Structure formats: C-alpha cells, structure tokens
Amino acid sequence: MTLDRNQLIKDDTTLMETVNNISKKVVSKYVARSVIPLREKEDVEMAVVEKFLNKKDKIINAFEGKSKLITYFTAVINRMCCEIIRKEQKHWYSVPDNEQNDDNNKDSLTLSYEAEKRVVINSEVKRLSKAMLFFNGINAKVNLFLKYYYDIPLNDNDLISYSKENKNFLKDVLVNKQKDLKSDKFEKLAKIVNKAEGKNIKGDAVRMWLNKQINILLKRLNNNNSSNHNAESLGLLFEIKEAETD
C-alpha cells in the first residue's frame, strides 16, 4: 500500500494500522534475536506506539520524501525501539523467564486456562489503550464521557484533564451516589459541555457525538477482524482498563 503523508494526517485509522504493523514487525525482530524477552513483547509494542504518537506531528513534518514513507516510519520506530531496549534491558533480564509461582493445591490445567485468559484480556486492554491515544486533543473528553456513560467511578484527574477551571462544576453534575438513567446522562453531559466549552447544545447532540466516538473505537479494535467487540464488551474492557490503572 502506498502511504500518503496528507492522508495519514487526516486518517487516524490508517495511521494507527500502519504504526501498529511496523511496531509489531520491528519488535518481533528483536524478540527473535532474544534481545527483548517474549513476555515483554506487547508492552514494548505499546511503548513504541505511544512514543511515536507523542511525536506524530514532528515525525510526519520531518519527512522529506527521500525514501518511501513506510521506510522512514520503520527507521523511526526502530530507533524508538532501541531507546526502549537500552532503558529497560537491565530490568528485563533481572527476572528469569522461567520464574514460576507454585500455588500448592490448585489444578495445573485450571491455572493454565486462567493464565491464558488473562493474557487475552491484557492484550485487549493494551489494544484499547493504544486506540484511545489516537483521539489526540479530545482524549480527556472521550475518557471522561465514556467513564460516566459506562458507570465507571470518576476521579479528580478525569475532571481536571477535561476542564481544570470547571472541576467543581463537573463534580457536582457528574459524580452521583446513584446511577443516572441513560437519557439523564446525555442531558448532564450536554450541561458540562455548554459550561466547559461555551456551547449551547442538547442531550441528543452529545448522544450522537458519543456514539460516533464509540464506533470509532470499535472500528479500531475490530480492524482486520482482530477482535469482535461491541458497545457492551467495550464497556467491560474499559472498566478493566480503568481498574488496572487505579
């Protein structure tokens, strides 16, 4: 596929797919050479993607067209991977790969199944975290709205990240002891948007906006049939992600 710089700037999905694919190939190369332990593979992939996204605009603007864009991205991502290796290598190899926890009376098959299940869940949570990074300037807003929508407890950082100067107002509106009805949630979200962003919108506008963000997330997660998430499973995944962050 021929990559166009202007297309990547406008199309987050294409950029995400490209960066993810290159990251996996670069990291796999170092795993195959035993430079990166297999157990660290997904963590390094995510770290590389995050480093790339944090410098996305600078990286794209620095492209001079002297090589193919994918070749340029590969060189950048390889350099970032090497930076992570230099930083983490000592820590990685201080923990043996074959280290095991002996749980006396548990059935080994059950342990194996639970471990595999946990690996799958962790992988999906990491993919969700990657997908959230691509919201760029509206990341804090999407995070706050999704947590409220899925009844995940909000903290001060969620409120401050969206609108620091309106933190107390947001808290009064959104932080409740009882769960709000879906219809009430959109009206309350409209209320905070109008206050924090100086707009004059109704709950229906927020509902359509949030549904769009959920569909974008699902498209990113289910890209190339890598998963089959829906709005309900996205909520569960988001809840797990937030629980592991706390």
**How does pLDDT run across 186-233, given as a tens digit for each residue?**
999 999 999 999 999 999 999 999 999 999 999 988 887 777 888 888
Residue 210 CB coordination number (10 Å): 19
- Per-residue pLDDT band at 168 (split at 50, 70, 90): very high
pLDDT at 141 (0 to 100): 96
**How do residues 131-141 score in pLDDT, each as one tens digit?**
998 888 899 99
Measure CA 182 to chain center. 25
Structure-block tokens of residue 205: 């506008």
**Top-confidence residue, 97 or 33:** 33
Confidence of residue 117 (pLDDT cuts 50, 70, 90): low
**Please, what sign has the CA dihedral across residues 25, 28, 30, 32?**
negative
CA angle 166, 168, 171 (to 5 degrees): 105
Cα distance between residue 127 and residue 147, in whole Å: 17
Q: What DSSP state is assigned to residue 94?
A: T
Nearest to 14 by CA among 48, 56, 66: 56
Backbone angles phi, psi at 180, to 5 degrees: -85, 155
Question: Is pLDDT above 90 for 144?
Answer: yes
Q: What is the mean pLDDT of residues 146-161?
A: 91
Burial of 178 (0-12, 13-18, 19+ CB in 10 A): exposed
Is the pLDDT at 69 greater than 50? The verdict is yes
The whole-angstrom separation of Cα 155 and Cα 46 is 25
Q: How far apart are CA 49 and CA 110, in angstroms?
A: 34
Which one of 129-133, 143-147, 175-179 scores highest in mean pLDDT?
143-147
Write down the residue that tokens 């596929």 correspond to: 1
Give 48's contacts (C-beta < 8 A, 6+ positions apart). 23, 26, 27, 77, 80, 81, 84
- Using CA atoms, how far apart are residues 24 and 2, in angstroms rounded to an integer? 19
What are the backbone angles phi and psi of residue 123, rounded to the nearest 5°?
-65, -45
Alpha-carbon distance of 30 to 79, in angstroms, equals 12
The pLDDT tens digits of the residues spanning 89-115 come to 777 766 554 544 444 444 444 544 455
**Do 213 and 238 contact (CB within 8 A), yes or no?**
no
How does residue 2 score in pLDDT terms, banded at 50, 70 and 90?
A: low
